[in-house]
Amino acid sequence: DTGVSQNPRHKITKRGQNVTFRCDPISEHNRLYWYRQTLGQGPEFLTYFQNEAQLEKSRLLSDRFSAERPKGSFSTLEIQRTEQGDSAMYLCASSFPPIRTGNPSSYNEQFFGPGTRLTVL
């Protein structure tokens, strides 16, 4: 399977514990994105990487959240001192960077993984 993979698929933890999720993007993609999706809502952007550089972080990403992509391949998202409000589906996506052509609306599709569902008790 050459799609985006995420592990674990499900994580149940107690409040105050630390958790770490992993994302393996499509191998040719140099952009990697993290989103969070709560029940009944669309995904919300958290952060993204181009290669190993983290280029943007949402204000949703509190100090308890940290994301890394040390070698420009897989990425990890760590949540420290989890709170019940952190319960959500965490989605990873990857893409090529936008191609600059004569059309300023050029865009490369983001391919999403199956997500990691976090439940904080």
Partner 1 sequence: GNSVTQMEGPVTLSEEAFLTINCTYTATGYPSLFWYVQYPGEGLQLLLKATKADDKGSNKGFEATYRKETTSFHLEKGSVQVSDSAVYFCARVNTGGFKTIFGAGTRLFVKA
Stretch that binds partner 1, among 20-28, 32-40, 59-67, 69-77 (CB under 8 A): 32-40
Query: Candidates 11-19, 22-30, 37-45, 76-84 — which segment interacts with partner 1 by CB under 8 A?
Result: 37-45
Which residue number, 14 or 28, has a Cβ lying nearer to partner 1?
28
Q: Which is nearer to partner 1, 3 or 16 (CB)?
A: 3
Which residues, including other chains, have CB under 8 Å from residue 6's CB and lie 6 or more apart? Answer: 21, 22, 23, 24, 90, 91, 92, 113, 114, 115, 116
Residue of the chain from 17, 41, 62, 119 that contacts partner 1 (CB under 8 A): 41
Rg (CA), the chain: 15
Give, as ranges, the residues between 45 and 74 that touch partner 1 (CB under 8 A).
Answer: 45, 48, 55-56
Interaction between residue 103 and partner 1 (CB under 8 A) = yes
Single out the residue of 46, 47, 43, 38 nearest to residue 87, CA to CA: 38
- Of the pair 79, 93, the CB lying nearest partner 1 is at 93
Which residues make up the interface to partner 1 (CB under 8 A)? 4, 31, 33, 35, 40-45, 48, 55-56, 91, 93, 98, 100, 103-107, 109-115
